[in-house]
Every structure is written in structure tokens, then in C-alpha cells.
Chains A and B, each alone.
Chain A
Amino acid sequence: DVKVTQSSRYLVKRTGEKVFLECVQDMDHENMFWYRQDPGLGLRLIYFSYDVKMKEKGDIPEGYSVSREKKERFSLILESASTNQTSMYLCASRLGTSSSYEQYFGPGTRLTVT
């Protein structure tokens, strides 16, 4: 089974702090994604990466950056956390050569910025 893990299930940070959210997948997938999920808004794509060192902006990239130095790891960075970034963050991966749209999701990180 594909396993996608995220560094923390719950995280509390202060406004202005730099925050790193880590995601690791163990199935050699080329594509990785970061979403945030908020009540009433569903899942929204922040950034995705189709291969190592590659990144593409999603629908809401403002206030975020990403890093993909190794194939199995995709990091989401909040340079200066703000209260409106309090949310559930979900990481996903996908086999790049597959014709399927199936993405495998991690358990999520619930981030609270105070």
C-alpha cells in the first residue's frame, strides 16, 4: 500500500513564525501536492510538484512556498504565518506515468496560528 505521512497531526504556531510542513511518500511517485481544507470551501490546491525540483502554483499559492529536493519529500513553507492560514493541510502523491487521476492522501496536519 502507498503510504503518505505528514510530520505532525497538530501544530500550533504564533503569528510571524516560519512554519515547515513535511510530507513523505514511500512509493516513488513523481507527483506531489499540497492542499488546504477549510469548512465550507472544500479542498483547495496550494502547490504541486511533478518531479524533483519542479513546482507549479495551484489555486491559492499566496503566502506559501514549497521545496522538493528529493523525490519522496515535499515541504510546504509558510514564510511568516498569519491567522488566516489556520487550516487543515493535506499532502498527496500520484504516480506520474499513470493514466489514472488517483491521488493518495496523507492524514493531514491541523495548523493553528495564534
Chain B
Amino acid sequence: LAKTTQPISMDSYEGQEVNITCSHNNIATNDYITWYQQFPSQGPRFIIQGYKTKVTNEVASLFIPADRKSSTLSLPRVSLSDTAVYYCLVGEKNSGAGSYQLTFGKGTKLSVIP
């Protein structure tokens, strides 16, 4: 399984853009990159998924360089409610079972400051 490395914590002021970078040096050809958000006392929530270049949705953008060995989650104009733990995952298809197994790392704790 591809291992991911991301910063343990980050601080940001309200209204700023936040970029969280994740490295995944041994990503496989068929792997997708996925980001989740988790608030205290809740289960994680899917944010965005991508394979290469750039993906954007109503919540965030995901930038993936050509070599795919890293990815950057971009949160535009964060607010206090964006304070959470953000997980970068590289999904691997379990070809034998036909299922997708995700490995969560320790995540990045983002604190948004007023």
C-alpha cells in the first residue's frame, strides 16, 4: 500500500487560502488520491478525489503534478468551521476482492484562527 506523508498540523487565519501538501512517493499507476475531512466526534467526510492535474469542486481544489508523487489540497478563504483534521489517502484496488481499500494516515490538524 502506498504510504502518505503530510504535516501534523497547520494554522491559518480566517479568509486565507490554505494549501496542505501530501507526499506519496510510491503511488501506483492505478491509484487515485483522495482527501477526507474529520470534525471532532464525527466520522470522516469525503472532500475530493483526483488522478492527475487539477480537480475542483464546491469545497476544494486538488492539484496533482505530472509525476503524481505529491498532491496539494487547496481550501479557498477558510473560515472557523474549516477547523478539522484532513486526511490524504491513496486508494488501492484489491484486485482479488474487487474492492477499494483505503489507508488513512494521521492526518493534518488545521486550526483556523479568528
**A residues in contact (CB < 8 Å) with B:** 4, 30-31, 35, 40-45, 48, 50, 54, 56, 58-59, 90, 92, 94, 96, 100-108
A-B contact pairs, 22 of them (CB 8 A): A4-B43, A30-B99, A31-B99, A40-B106, A42-B87, A42-B105, A48-B99, A48-B101, A50-B97, A50-B98, A54-B97, A90-B43, A94-B100, A100-B46, A100-B49, A101-B91, A102-B46, A103-B44, A104-B46, A105-B44, A106-B43, A108-B43
Residues 35-90 of B contacting A (Cβ, < 8 Å): 41-46, 49, 87, 89
CA distance A58 to B101 in the complex (A): 8
Pair B43/A107 contact, Cβ less than 8 Å: yes
Residues of B contacting A42 in the complex (Cβ-Cβ under 8 angstroms): 87, 104-107
Chain B residue total in the interface (Cβ 8 A)? 24
Is B28 part of the binding interface, using a Cβ–Cβ cutoff of 8 Å? Answer: no
**B102 interfacial by beta-carbon distance below 8 Å:** yes
Taking the nearest CB of chain A, how far is it from the CB of B27, in angstroms? 13
- Check: B103 CB closer than 8 A to any chain A CB: yes
What is the bound-complex CA distance between A35 and B34, given in angstroms?
Answer: 17
Task: Give the residues in chain B near A103, CB-CB below 8 Å.
Answer: 44, 46, 102
Q: Closest CB-CB distance, A46 to chain B, in whole Å?
A: 12
Which chain B residues lie closer than 8 Å to A106 at the CB level? 43
